[in-house]
C-alpha cells in the first residue's frame, strides 16, 4: 500500500525555462500554469522526500497541446514543454528521475488516458496497428467531443494498440504503474485483459483506476466501484479511487448532512470492498475537484479531514499542496478546476502552512510505523455525541476520536500520538485524535 503525491507538472515548478511554451503555443493554456517541468520536480525532490510519501503520481507527460495534458497527441512521445526538445535528452531525463525516485524507495506512476485522445492525435505514427475511434457513449464524452476522439476497444486492433501503450512505458522505463483516467469509459472486459498483460510484466504493478460519475450521488459511485473492481471473479485494478468515501467526507465534515452512525457505516461499507489483491485509494482533492479548504472554508475542518484520512485502511493519495492546505483560485470559471494553482514551497509558507506541513510529516511517519492505521479492522465504540472507533491489527491498536463538538469528556488514560501528551479523564475539543491506550 502507498501514500501517494500527485503532481500536476505544469503548476509545480519551472526548472528549465528553455523548454517553456508561450501561452499562444498551446491550444489551451491555464492561467495559473508556471510552465513547470520534470527538472522542476527534480530540483524540489528533497521537499517531496521530506514529506515521507512513497509514491509520486505524475499528471500526463506525453505529447499534448494543453497545460493539463489530458489531450494526448502521441502516446510514445514525451511533451517537449515538460522535458526537452531533443527526444534522447527527454528520455534520459525521465530515466534519471525514475532512478532517483527508486533509489529513495519512492514509486512512480504515470497518468494514462486510454479512453480518449486529442482530435489532433498523430494517427500517421501508428504503424503496427490500425486502431479505430467511435462516437461518444457517455454523458461526459458528449461534453468532451469537440476536444477528443474516443477509442473503440470492441475492435481487436484498437485493444492491442492500447495495451501496447501500457506495456511500453513499464518495459522501457521501469515505471511502477498507472493512474488510469476515466476508466469508466472503457468496458470492464478491456481492463481485465489490460490487468493480466501488465501483471505479466510486473507482478507488483499498480493500476489505479478513476471510476467516477461526476453527476451522480455517493450511492451510485459506490455501485460503480463494486462493478469495476472485479470481472468474472478476477481483479481488474489493484486500486480504485474511492469517490464514495470522498462524497461521504464532504457530507460529514463540511456539510453536516450525515451523523456519526451513518458516517461510520459508510466507512465500513467502503472497507468491505478491500481484499488481498485490491485496496481502495482515499483522497480529499484531485485536479478535477476544488481544494478542500475552499469547500469547507474552515482550517479546523481541513485539519480534521487530513488526520482522519491517515486512519483509513487502504491507500492514500494527496494532491500537491495538500500538505499546507493550499487554497484554490476561486476566480476560475469552473469551480471544479479551481484547484489548479501554482505550488508554494517552504520559503513562502505562512505560519499556518508551516504547521500543516509539519503535521503532515508526523502523520506520514505515524502511519508508516503502525500497521493498524494502514490495514487494521474498525471496532465501533461510540457513535452518539462523538464518533470513536478502534483500529486494530494484531497487537497494534489505536483509538480514533472524531469530535465535531466543543468539548467531550473521555474517561481513562490515553497518549496522543501527534502531540505526544498524556490525557487522563480529560475534555477534548473539536478535532480528530489518534490515541493509544498506554505508552
pLDDT digits (tens, 9 = 90+) for 9-42: 999 999 999 999 999 999 999 999 999 999 999 9
Distance CA 199, CA 219 (A): 31
Distance CA 39, CA 43 (A): 6
Q: Is the pLDDT of residue 439 over 60?
A: no
Please, which contacts does 261-265 make with residues 24 or more away whose CB atoms are closer than 8 Å? 261/383, 261/384, 263/387, 264/378, 264/380, 264/383, 264/387, 264/389
Q: Is 231 helix (H, G, I), strand (E, B) or coil?
A: strand
Distance CA 234, CA 202 (A): 17
Distance CA 279, CA 315 (A): 7
Q: Which of 164-168, 222-226, 247-251, 370-374 has the lowest mean pLDDT?
A: 222-226
Distance CA 256, CA 295 (A): 13
Q: What's the pLDDT band for 99 if we cut at 50, 70, 90? A: very high
Report in angstroms the alpha-carbon separations of 402 from 213, 285, 405: 29, 21, 9
Q: Is the pLDDT of residue 78 over 60?
A: yes
Compute the Cα dihedral for 321, 327, 331, 333 and give only its sign. Answer: positive
Query: Residues 270-287: what's their mean pLDDT?
Result: 96
Contact between 287 and 281 (Cβ < 8 Å):
no
Q: What's the pLDDT band for 178 if we cut at 50, 70, 90? A: very high
Residue found under cell 520534470 = 38
Question: What are 158's three cell numbers?
Answer: 484498437
Distance CA 416, CA 435 (A): 5
CB-count exposure of residue 409 (10 Å: 0-12, 13-18, 19+): exposed
Q: Is the pLDDT of residue 396 over 60?
A: yes
Q: What is the pLDDT of residues 296-346, one digit of tens each?
A: 999 999 999 999 999 999 999 999 999 999 999 989 888 888 999 999 999
Question: What are 121's three cell numbers?
Answer: 492525435
Contact between 214 and 226 (Cβ < 8 Å):
no
Q: Is the pLDDT of residue 63 over 90?
A: yes
User: What pLDDT, on a 0 to 100 scale, did the predictor assign at position 133?
Assistant: 95
Distance CA 380, CA 390 (A): 7
Residue found under cell 499546507 = 324
Cα angle for residues 354, 358, 362 (degrees, 5° grid): 165
**Which of the two residues, 137 and 206, has the higher pLDDT score?**
206
Cα angle for residues 237, 229, 264 (degrees, 5° grid): 115
Query: Residues 42-66: what's their mean pLDDT?
Result: 98
User: What pLDDT, on a 0 to 100 scale, did the predictor assign at position 212?
Assistant: 87
- Does the global pTM surpass 0.85? yes
Q: What's the pLDDT band for 371 if we cut at 50, 70, 90? A: very high
Mean pLDDT for the chain overall: 95
Contact between 378 and 268 (Cβ < 8 Å):
yes
User: What pLDDT, on a 0 to 100 scale, did the predictor assign at position 118?
Assistant: 97
User: What pLDDT, on a 0 to 100 scale, did the predictor assign at position 333?
Assistant: 83
Contact between 239 and 180 (Cβ < 8 Å):
no
Q: To the nearest 10°, report the CA torsion of 406, 374, 177, 180.
A: -40
User: What pLDDT, on a 0 to 100 scale, did the predictor assign at position 215?
Assistant: 66
Q: What's the pLDDT band for 203 if we cut at 50, 70, 90? A: very high
User: What pLDDT, on a 0 to 100 scale, did the predictor assign at position 137?
Assistant: 86
Q: Is the pLDDT of residue 259 over 80?
A: yes
User: What pLDDT, on a 0 to 100 scale, did the predictor assign at position 328?
Assistant: 96
Q: Is 406 helix (H, G, I), strand (E, B) or coil?
A: strand
Amino acid at each position: 500500500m502507498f501514500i501517494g503525491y500527485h503532481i500536476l507538472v505544469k503548476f509545480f515548478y519551472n526548472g528549465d525555462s528553455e523548454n517553456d511554451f508561450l501561452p499562444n503555443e498551446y491550444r489551451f493554456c491555464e492561467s495559473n500554469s508556471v510552465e513547470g517541468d520534470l527538472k522542476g520536480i527534480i530540483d524540489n525532490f528533497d521537499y517531496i522526500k521530506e514529506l515521507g510519501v512513497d509514491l509520486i503520481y505524475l499528471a500526463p507527460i506525453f505529447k499534448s497541446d494543453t497545460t493539463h495534458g489530458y489531450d494526448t497527441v502521441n502516446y510514445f512521445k514525451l511533451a517537449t514543454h515538460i522535458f526537452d526538445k531533443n527526444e534522447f535528452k527527454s528520455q534520459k531525463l525521465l530515466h534519471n528521475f525514475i532512478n532517483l525516485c527508486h533509489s529513495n524507495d519512492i514509486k512512480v506512476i504515470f497518468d494514462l488516458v486510454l479512453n480518449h485522445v486529442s482530435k489532433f492525435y498523430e494517427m500517421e505514427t501508428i504503424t503496427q496497428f490500425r486502431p479505430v475511434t467511435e462516437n461518444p457513449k457517455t454523458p461526459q464524452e458528449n461534453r468532451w467531443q469537440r476536444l477528443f476522439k474516443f477509442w473503440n476497444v470492441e475492435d481487436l486492433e484498437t485493444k492491442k494498440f492500447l495495451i501496447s501503450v501500457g506495456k511500453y512505458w513499464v518495459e522501457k522505463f521501469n515505471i511502477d504503474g498507472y493512474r488510469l483516467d476515466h476508466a469508466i469509459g472503457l468496458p470492464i472486459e478491456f481492463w481485465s485483459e489490460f490487468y493480466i498483460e501488465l501483471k505479466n510484466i510486473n507482478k507488483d504493478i499498480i493500476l489505479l483506476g478513476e471510476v467516477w460519475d461526476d453527476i451522480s450521488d455517493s450511492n451510485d459511485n459506490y455501485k460503480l466501484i463494486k462493478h469495476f473492481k472485479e470481472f468474472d471473479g478476477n481483479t481488474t485494478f489493484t486500486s480504485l479511487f474511492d469517490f464514495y468515501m470522498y462524497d461521504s467526507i464532504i457530507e460529514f465534515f463540511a456539510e453536516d448532512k450525515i451523523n456519526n452512525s451513518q458516517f461510520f457505516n459508510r466507512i465500513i461499507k467502503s472497507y468491505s470492498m478491500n481484499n488481498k489483491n485490491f485496496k481502495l485509494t482515499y483522497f480529499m482533492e484531485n485536479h478535477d475537484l476544488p481544494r478542500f479548504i475552499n469547500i469547507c472554508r474552515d482550517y479546523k475542518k481541513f485539519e480534521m479531514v487530513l488526520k482522519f484520512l491517515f486512519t483509513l485502511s487502504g491507500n492514500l493519495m494527496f494532491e500537491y499542496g495538500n500538505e499546507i492546505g493550499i487554497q484554490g483560485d476561486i476566480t476560475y470559471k469552473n469551480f471544479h478546476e479551481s484547484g489548479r494553482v501554482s505550488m508554494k514551497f517552504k520559503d513562502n509558507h505562512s505560519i499556518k502552512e508551516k504547521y500543516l506541513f509539519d503535521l503532515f510529516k508526523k502523520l506520514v511517519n505515524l502511519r508508516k510505523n503502525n500497521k493498524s492505521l494502514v490495514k487494521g479492522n474498525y471496532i465501533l465504540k461510540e457513535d452518539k455525541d462523538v464518533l470513536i472507533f478502534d483500529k486494530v491489527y494484531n497487537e497494534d491498536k489505536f483509538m480514533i476520536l472524531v469530535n465535531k463538538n466543543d468539548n467531550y469528556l473521555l474517561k481513562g488514560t490515553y497518549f496522543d500520538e501527534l502531540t505526544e501528551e498524556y490525557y487522563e479523564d480529560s475534555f477534548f475539543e473539536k478535532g480528530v485524535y489518534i490515541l493509544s491506550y498506554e505508552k
